[in-house]
Amino acid sequence: MVSIAHNSASNPLSSQGISRLEIASMALDALWSNKLRSSLTMLGVIIGIGSVISLTSIGEGIQKSTEDSIRGLGTDVLQVMAGSAESGGISQGQGSVTTLTWEDAQAIEEQAPSATVVSAYLQQQAQIVYGENNTSTTVYGTDLAHPEARNTFPESGRFFNDEELAIASSVAVIAPTVQKNLFPNQANPIGENIRIQGEIYKIIGIMEVKGSQGPQDRDDAVYIPLTSMSARIIGNNSLMGVAVNGIYIKGEDESQLDTIRFQVENILRLRHGIISPEEDDFRITNQADILETLTTILGLLTTLIVAIAAISLVVGGIGIANIMLVSVVERTREIGIRKALGATERDVLSQFLAESIVISVIGGGIGIVLGVGVTFISATAFGFPFILSTTAIGAGVGLSTSVGLIAGVIPARNAAQLDPIVALRSD
């Protein structure tokens, strides 16, 4: 309850009105007298603002991490993938049928003037064994241009050379995750022998750390010569040469990609005997297009999640409106005394609005701190950039204030319009 002074000269409830500072002071006193109820009312605002800020910032951090990962591979890269087989009218997916060969990649390298780097690859999931340790990983059979095409190079040791590629040598370059799984207590496994599908391969290099690309761990891989992969692990299943799953093609920059695509399409259609209007037996994708698509999808998902989180703000506003309505009922006699002593409708309206705004602003401030804390912990735990969304913080401040104003309007008007005679008769 708010104490009331009897000295009209110093009475804040005089007909001269109440200052904003006095209104704020009385609002805080009223809220403090009901600490538990006020705290529970704030909880909805705290959760709402905290959720909006943390989810927005986390979404932007994940989006930035994904973009950096794709850009790390190079946005000036085209990927040609093998065609798809059909069974019962149902497509079995890209790469389910052999339509690309190493010879196709060599032809592109020779005949496409805009292509600066061309690299063919085979890939297959396989079990890798070293002593008592084993791990399931992706084995890539590649040519010598693969490190430059994928912008990933050995951190220690070396990649295989021309001679090893020509004779299908049993050498392997492993990525950091494979090293961690197979050699947990060994700092330098170069020179050790591992088994891939029962075949012995000697480790000659360790690739640099590249991190994850979406759900794919780029550090969980083994690289061996394309010729060795074709002969020993997959088997040569093409009558036209060494079959491959795909071809990476790199240009000078992104501006050359359309030109490269045109050149590659014509070269492959001629080599594969495809005549218009027949469909291509290959598919060409663009890293820049992939980046744009992923950015759009992540942005939409973040917006959707934030919109759902914002619902708690509505719940918080309803809670504030409810508590203020209850407060008006409980303090009817107090309101009558204040109006009898000279408080205007505006004074009463201002105090009850101030109480609802104070609840929302304090709750919003705590929510901002909570959102920043959750974002920092999540970024540290999951390894994505710590990004604070200034837009979300600004929106949080604005929303918390707006919630207080909107939620407090009806209760404040009810309080201001009370008849002082009726209010004084209230128990």
Write down the domain spans for the chain: 20-67+298-425, 98-280
Span between the terminal Cα atoms of the chain, in Å: 14
Provide the pairing of β-strand 221-225 with 133-142.
parallel
pLDDT tens, position by position, 39-49: 887 887 888 88
From CA 15, how far away is CA 47, in angstroms rounded?
41
d(CA 56, CA 50): 10
How many residues would you count in the chain?
Answer: 427
The pLDDT value given to residue 240: 63
Q: Which residues contact 192 (CB under 8 A, 6 or more apart)?
A: 130, 183, 186, 202, 203
**Higher-scoring residue by pLDDT: 309, 248:** 248
What are the tens digits of pLDDT across the range 244-282? 999 999 888 777 888 999 999 999 999 988 888 888 888
Is it true that the peptide bond before 277 is cis, omega within 30 degrees of 0?
yes
Could you read off the pLDDT of 326-376 as tens digits, one per residue? 777 777 777 777 777 777 777 777 877 887 888 888 888 898 899 899 999
Residue 290 CB contacts under 8 Å (≥ 6 apart), including other chains: 70
For the stretch 214-226, pLDDT in tens is 556 788 999 999 9
Separation between Cα atoms, residue 362 and residue 369, nearest integer Å: 11
Per-residue three-class SS string for 335-346: HHHHHHCCCCHH
CA neighbor of 16 nearest in space, from 342, 419, 345: 342
Best mean pLDDT range from 15-29, 88-102, 179-193, 387-401: 179-193
Tokens of 377: 């912990």
Q: Give the C-alpha separation, 369 to 414, whole Å.
A: 34
pTM above 0.75, yes or no: no
Looking only at the bridges linking them, the beta strands covering 282-286 and 221-225 are unpaired
List 137's β-bridge partners, or say none.
Answer: 126
CB 13 within 8 A of CB 347: yes
Closest Cα partner for 389 from 148, 49, 38, 6?
49
What pLDDT was estimated at residue 108?
A: 94
Query: Which of 3-17, 196-210, 251-265, 367-381 has the weakest average pLDDT?
Result: 3-17
Of 75-89, 109-123, 334-348, 357-371, which gets the smallest average pLDDT?
Answer: 75-89
The two structure tokens encoding residue 284: 């060409």
